[in-house]
Structure 1
């Protein structure tokens, strides 16, 4: 036994050394995501030269800076821009740092900034709101990021649409360049390539002067983003003979926030994920030990990890008389092949109740709405009270060890608490017990790079495991990988095939994604009537975003005759269900909705007691307050 103690402690010593040595490199503990859009091939204006090169250069710079998701897009029509922003919004919601970079044409109308898709015609100033994308819409796509929301606009080029654009109203101010707009959100910066109302140069090189400087400056380690953008300004002014002056709007809190982190010092403490990795390697050899001394050494080293908790439980078990001991929990090994963890878990039979336990506090706080094992309705991931759920599920597993649904729910609670590495190990344990929902969530962690290195191929493998077992939501996730080309070649036809399989199994997201493919003409002929039909199916299944899409379709007569009454009905339902997207559309893009739609919405608000003002063809401040109240804001 003495030799075994020496062996375990030697492993601990090596693990500590590796953890300290491995932390000396550049660290990116936070999640950084970026969407890059370059619009060059304008269908109704002269083609731009630089945007594809700008996107390529920015992608290389951000990759070097450690961004975990970089989504490059070129030559997007309006619908493509909206879809790209919607998809990126999902990534930004869970990110610490989110960046949107745009290279192409932009313009200002009545103090509102617009980015111009490649299919814009802009025959009249009235067309701008319908054919372009507002800067507000771009900002909404990154508002979920926690530390930094950065929008970079190389969009102040000389606009070829302006000279030929007819004016419907002399009071509608259309100017070159972009307006200086102060973002309303916190921790938000907007970087413009040129001062308000002025035009930016394209330059003679592969990139514009603004983007050429960005590519160079982004990768400078340890420079605060505000200073970095100031250096870009100085570069551009020098390169253009003071003819072009970039500027930045917004504000950040105190402290240094760099896009390219400085290398950590050699004496820095290992990160929690590194500690967890060490513990995962050591624990399988130690978990059966009866030596309290070596268990105590392990527990102290990994006190803040899941495995430290297991060591503490093992120590307590060894203090209980043999006749009343219970079997230790099964913890699968965190191996490079997750199947190894499954085999290891299967080798030991966990203590399980003869019948599923009754509803627990863990069920009420962390059950997955799509988990077939759930008890009760379940809780949306974003609504999990992480601290309470972790404690409740830990208590439930003490009372009902090895219960499949409780293991999965404990994993969800840890996931919500951003203890991703521990969530990964717990999901593995739940999968070993037969949880299809756990397989789906393991795939999601691989897709997002949370707790494990990002690996789209591994994500696809785990999504397929869940789908093979009939877990409906995994079909749409596989389709999503094919639609965006993540880990596989982009294939809209294959995406549609998976979405249809998901829809056949009642998955609501699959219905909505089929609608989006028909709307964008991806893999199928563009068909707004068919998109409308699928949005209706998704809305009938409870999808709030599809209600918002239906409101837009009926308002604009897309795929059906214009019907402001139907549009108002769907918009009202979307707001009633708390649609943040619909609320923002009505508050910030009111001109996109018809006068009759406005009056119909006011009638509905009045009938439900939210509004007692006049019925008009626009929203006054009282009406805006009523819309917020309806949406629960």
Structure 2
């Protein structure tokens, strides 16, 4: 099972799982030697982030029932991904060795910062973890649970391999799994596996999209007259992959709504499982324009550390790229968290703002955020340094994050802490929270607690979320679901988009007691009139929206 502590520990890691694997890279020399791929490490360091996908469809089985859709589904998904700029590696009706070799071939091409999509369609089973079944897998009635697991490809291995290559150095690569599996799979011996949808992945920083919820059937056809070439899930997915500008989170929400509607109309039940823990938005088919890759952006100065009213009024750059914790942002905008910032959409607006107002340091900083959101870290860091020299505490914090995450520079915890402290000295709440996170990672929980408190007092919604997590987990502070819900509500009131996203897509990360306590608080606020049952369905979600960004 995924624990809240596991998830929160890696809040800054951007990994997405939807059952697709996409990443593409120019690696220079890559040599295959037996089971190993050898590459020039310098090529990996210097290459720009790429987008690649591994797409596998298993429909013909030696000992299991054949499936009509997987090979067609995989072809169609692969074609769409290729059409929107992914380099696609394909596999069809593979045995165990073929699946392992194809995964190794794919991961050998990945490098830190890449976007990787893994798509699998075929039989799958919960065997003490999610497993994708190769064409030569034994029939479950003739195998033990362990035997069948040994014959299959584990989801844990897929995630671990892709995470290690795309985000293993702390860079903001993305791993996206899209899984169309578990079609009425039979029980495994006396210790049965799942007869329906797979479990959410036991990994941190994941966005996962599964064709069906745990224990449900993922249907190939709605009824005997259904002539669609694709499974119910994939037919809903394909047009969303093509759509320009949609984030992975939006794709997950829309495909879930569409599949549930199709199934319900046919008298069936299939609700895709969506699990989102990415910090920054991931757009598979970008629609925004961007700056030329080698363009260097230069800005001007600003002395004030307060929300400016001088020089320039609210602009599109402010609306798209202002940092919620930046004291230099205009007061009329709430700001956009890194989790929601669309770098590509913000680039043009912020470049225009810098050109029109070269003396506004906030635009210089916000253009840096747009570049960072587009994974152009080398340009972003240059801008952050310029903004920091002119008094931007938010830029100091971002330089610290660059050292913390290894964005275009070597990871360096000491340097990260030094820059965070410089920003905190200037009153930046995000930096105070980041200091707390570093101290917590060093097991200095009491000192971390004091920094969380400072950040929360400054209005940091991330620190409020951290307090909620501490009271939920009961390791540093005594477990208290009531106080956990109090801090969750405060984070929501401050407009923390991470908190809102988690309570929308993965409320089960929080205990039933905490969920009930939050529902009671929503009742007391007069925005919720349903049962206090811990079920975060439509009425609770509407109430959460009502308090979001209230203060």
Shorter-chain TM-score tier:
0.3 to 0.5
Higher percent of residues as helix: 1
- The higher-RCO structure (CA 8 Å, 6+ apart) is 2
TM score, norm. by length of structure 2? 0.46
Larger radius of gyration: 1
